[in-house]
Structure 1
């Protein structure tokens, strides 16, 4: 994916809580997010820049307290070593906003991948909108 000029990215205004999670790598409390139990068909986009990140067809119930996806839209998510040295952080490839963490080898799905994403880092666009 080509590197985007960050001066051309449209950034949405964020609340203080959204800033805490997206800009400062925070985490929302488990089972409190708007999209944890969402079953509608559509696309999840970055709250900060509206870049498409995940398709609802890749969302699954992991019962971890946050929305879980076993795949991302190609090129949409970047993986980085987390500051704690144990986990892998995931960020929006477009604006670098914090999404959550990715875990491998847990066996939840055939893809054996779980993107554990903060609802507050996402907007959901239902199919047809």
Structure 2
């Protein structure tokens, strides 16, 4: 069974993502911010990471950069609603940092599962 790390500072989103992915047959680990997520990614066997972009204590851009630097084979999905930030599109920045996929909030449950399945391929089979 593949393990997915969900990093989001909003508990409701983190919990919904975890529930949807568990129902789809994945083991899920959650983290409350980027620092927590990077610690869990380095101490656990994680097959895929889903990270919000706007978070305290290391944002998603930092998470993507660090994951790709240290374990470049781990797929990363960047998720953002954009928040109040103006200027460059956050998901576009995430793509340039080699996020393997991006999803705009609010995220459709089917799109979330489909994206994870596509990125994990056979590794996702329980």
Larger relative contact order, structure 1 or 2 (CA cutoff 8 Å, min sep 6): 1
Q: Give the TM-score taking structure 1 as reference length.
A: 0.24
Q: Give the TM-score taking structure 2 as reference length.
A: 0.24
Larger Rg computed on CA atoms: 1
More strand per residue: 1 or 2? 1
